[in-house]
Every structure is written in C-alpha cells, then in structure tokens.
Structure 1
Amino acid sequence: MSVRLEARAVTVIPDGARAPILAEASVQIRAGEVHALVGPNGAGKSTLFGVLAGDVTTSTGSAWLDGRKLAAYPARELARLRAVLLQQNAVSFPFTVSEVVAMGRAPWARSVHADEDEKAIRAAMTDTDVVELGSRTMPSLSGGERARVALARVLAQRTGIILLDEPTAALDLRHQEDVLALARRRAHEGAAVAVVLHDLNAAISSSDRVTLLSRGTVVASGAPAEVLTAARIEEVYDQPVDVFPHPRTGLPVVLPRR
C-alpha cells in the first residue's frame, strides 16, 4: 500500500518547555489501512496526530503528504485531501445538524465536485445515524450525538485521508462499533485512516497497523498482535495484563490483571 501521510523524525518542544513532548517520532499512514495511535495519557498521541493534521508545528523533522511537505499545501488544497476529527467539537452557535454536516463540503465549493454535496451530506448523516437529528440545533444535543455529527461532517468532506482523534470517546457501545466499522470500510475503499484510540482491544480488532507511544517516543509500530504484547503493554502502561486469543475470532484480547 502506498504511503499517503507520514511524520519523519518529528520533535515538538512547546514554547518555554525544557523537554520535548514528542521526540524523533516517525509514522507512515498508508492507503487502504486503518492505523491506530495508542499509548497512555501524555504519551504524545494527540501531538503526533496534530503534526499529521498540520495543526502542530514541529521543532525538528516534518510531516509529508504524497511526497510533499505538509506545510507547503494551501489550506483549501489540504482540506480536499484530508479530513480531521478533533477531540473537542464545540459549536457555540445554534446551527442545525444538517448545517454542520454541510460545512464538510466547504472545501469543494465552486469546484466540479460541488454537485455531489447533497449526496455526500445524506450519505454521511445516514452512516453516522444522525438523519433524524437533522433539524435539531447543536446545543440541544447530547455529547454523543454531537460527536456523531462531527464525524458526519468529516465523512461528508470525502477525502482520501481521514484523521480521527479519539472518535469513540463519547459514544455508547453500539455507536463505538459503528464508528470503527466506518473507519474499516473507508480503508477498504482505499482511504488512509489514522485514529487515536485508548481502547487497546479496539485497536487490535479494528486496525491494520498500530503505533505505540510512550513519553513522547515511538516504542513500536507494526501489526497489532506484534506490537501489543503483554510484556510491552505492561512496560508502557505500568499495568500487568494478560493477552490471550479470543475464543471465536482468535484475535488477541487484552485484560488487565486484577
């Protein structure tokens, strides 16, 4: 699979900080794959995600998209290539759900793809189960409903690269599974998908590749079963675990020792 997006030995040191929050981190996001970024709190997952999205400036190293430095892309061109779902999706004004999802089509205004707007919006709302919420205003929604609307906006953008930062955090069990299934489907259709996850079992079952971070560095990157071993999880998370095959699927299951 071709590499669409990558970070090459990136280090991020915030202004006034003595130590980096991300150090010499490299990752490749490939077309046709779901790539999960995992690690404990403060590991650098969201910072690396921000570098890949083009929202975080690196101190050294750089992010690349299709062999070109990410920083060289004009904003509109970048928005037509990659869509980003952030952890926080606050909407202060009383936009309706339909209006917010339609915002995902803004990069395509006055382009040959503008005639796809209605179809893209409808499909995104259907896929995220928010059709019945279409006329509701954003402030009237629950946290989980707002998260699904934010995802619908990202899907309506119809880009070949999709970046999702903790997309399941505010969702119930059914909608968590729906979101991960959507990510897998988009990858199967050829998209390059990067997703920040806290749930290691979700990372194992839903991703093709995993990058494990700890204290701002990449510990390991590769197939989920090879990266997320019991010994490595215990070392990184400081929590003993058992990893054993699921009785039906055979996929590894991570269970904390209690």
Structure 2
Amino acid sequence: MLEIKDLSVSYGSRKILNNLNISAEKGEFLGIIGPNGSGKTTLVKAIINVLKPESGDITLNGRSIKHMSSTEIARHIAVVSQVFSINFEFAVKDIVMMGRTPYIKGKECHEDFDIVEESMKKTKTDFLKDRMVTQLSGGELQRVIIARALAQQTDILLLDEPTSHLDITNQIDILNLVKKESRKGKLIIAVVHDLNLAAYYCDKIALLRDGKLMSLGTPAEVLTPEIIGKVYNLPVEVVTNEITNSLYVIPKLEPLAHP
C-alpha cells in the first residue's frame, strides 16, 4: 500500500534522510523508532508531501504522491501531529467535523454527521462534543485529534509520537484504539519513543539513526541488545515480559549511590 523508495531529504546542505527504503501494507502497525534527531518527524512530513524529497519517491498503491493533490492525499492519509494546540473556541464536534473537509462540497450532509458521531464514540469523546477544545486536558485533546483523523476515513493513519506528554492510562488507551484500527485493516504508521510500547503494539519496526535505516523487521528482529546498543549507545538486556509475552528492553544502569 505504501512504499518509500530510495528516499533522501535535506534541509539546505544538511541531509536529514538518506536513501530510505520502507514498505508497509494494509492491516499493519509499523513503528518508527530511533534516537532524537534521527529523522522520524521529517519522514512523517515527507510521507504527506509537506517536505519534498531530494531524491527517491513515496508511492500509495503504486502512485507517486508527487502527482497527488493535498486533498487527494488527505483522502488516503490522516495525520496526528506531534504538537497540536488550538487557541480558538471551537466545539469538539466542530474539530472532528474538520476531518470531513476532503469530502465536503458546500455543506455537511447526514453521512458526515454520522461519521463524526461514530468517530467520537470510538475515541470516547462523544460526551465532550459540545465542550470547547480550550477546556480539554492533554489526553482529551489527543483523543479528539484522533477522532478527527478517524473521521477522514482513510486507509492510512499516521501518528507522530501520539502518546507524548500523556499519562500511562491515556497512552495505553490511545495505542489500544489505533491497534484495533489496524486489525480492522487500516495501516498504522506511528513514531514511538518507548521501545517497550513499540515491542508490544507494532507488527513491524523501522529503526532510524542519523537519517539512515539501521534495521527493519519484526520487534524480535529489530529489538536486539546488539542493535539497540549500537544505535542508542546504551547497553541493554532484552527479555520476554511474562505478563504480556512481548519483548521488554531493560537498560543496564549502574546502581545509584545512596547518601
């Protein structure tokens, strides 16, 4: 469904992404991980054609995004950005309705309202529909933005650090929600900082460092002590979590001296 082919992106003379090759298909949950400054957010922007590649291409179902309008891309890819703030007094239901923008011609129809209502139910934000977004907590706002993305009814949901700044309850709720969407056939691509959350939720992981693809595969193939130690410059032990039966990455830290 989505192919990244020999992709390189630069800011001026500084190369941020270098010859990336990644593919992902319908129903997959692809995690993008890597140290700070490795090019993860740049990759997100390139996928939606906000940043133009220096070389290479990104295709959706075999068609280059270079030849697609922003409206057409929005009908295929919904984005949840890393940083999002709304300083205007919009009601939650109006924010979610913005997800229907690529389809609305003139005025909203009954179908649009039904889709918005269903998206709010999925994200458990329907009880907030008349509240102003400026009155929401960080977790509530993130759910609303995901509801807006679901209202776009796209094949691909692209999330840039969707759980940053959220407490553990909201982190798990949001990742459970998007995982369910992948099981229904949607392609999920998410930038994730927490390696253990990536190990649990992702079907496939792309590990970046300094704009290069260091490893691509299943969590078991990517999250090894050798690869993580090399990329993050940190010795780790990788074990199996007996409760979740997923991999668990443990940094090897020196014991702290007590006063």
Common topology (TM > 0.5) = yes
Q: Deviations over 1:219-249 (max 9, x none)?
A: 0101111111111111111111111011133
Q: Aligned residue for 1:31?
A: 26
The partner residue of 2:249 within 245, 250, 254 is 254
The partner residue of 2:125 within 125, 130, 154 is 130
Q: Which amino acid aligns with 1:142?
A: S
The answer on 1:8 being equivalent to 2:5 is: yes
The partner residue of 1:94 within 78, 81, 89 is 89
Deviation, 1:7, is 1.3
Residue correspondence of structure 1 range 164-175 to structure 2 within 5 A:
164-175=159-170
Deviation, 1:114, is 5.1
Q: Aligned residue for 1:59?
A: 54
Q: Which amino acid aligns with 2:5?
A: R
Deviation, 1:131, is 2.0
Q: Aligned residue for 2:226?
A: 231
Deviation, 1:57, is 1.0
| Matches of 2:157 and 2:20, distance apart in 1 | 20
Q: Aligned residue for 1:188?
A: 183
Q: Aligned residue for 1:84?
A: 79
TM-score using structure 2 length: 0.92
> Does the residue aligned with 2:11 lie in a helix, a strand or coil?
coil
Q: Aligned residue for 1:158?
A: 153
Deviation, 1:156, is 1.1
> Does the residue aligned with 1:154 lie in a helix, a strand or coil?
helix
Q: Aligned residue for 1:215?
A: 210
Q: Aligned residue for 2:193?
A: 198
Aligned pair count reads 252
> For structure 1, which runs of at least 5 residues remain unmatched after alignment?
none
Percent sequence identity over aligned pairs: 37
Q: Aligned residue for 2:38?
A: 43
| Matches of 2:105 and 2:25, distance apart in 1 | 30
Aligned partners of 1:53 and 1:163 also within 8 Å: no
Q: Relative to structure 2, which stretch is displaced further, 124-133 or 31-40?
A: 124-133
| Matches of 2:238 and 2:9, distance apart in 1 | 33
Deviation, 1:171, is 2.1
Aligned partners of 2:123 and 2:144 also within 8 Å: yes
| Matches of 2:85 and 2:132, distance apart in 1 | 12
| Matches of 1:171 and 1:117, distance apart in 2 | 30
| Matches of 1:143 and 1:89, distance apart in 2 | 10
Aligned partners of 1:209 and 1:222 also within 8 Å: yes
TM-score using structure 1 length: 0.93
Q: Relative to structure 2, which stretch is displaced further, 152-161 or 177-186?
A: 177-186
| Matches of 1:208 and 1:187, distance apart in 2 | 10
| Matches of 1:136 and 1:201, distance apart in 2 | 34
Q: Which amino acid aligns with 1:7?
A: I
Aligned partners of 2:48 and 2:73 also within 8 Å: no
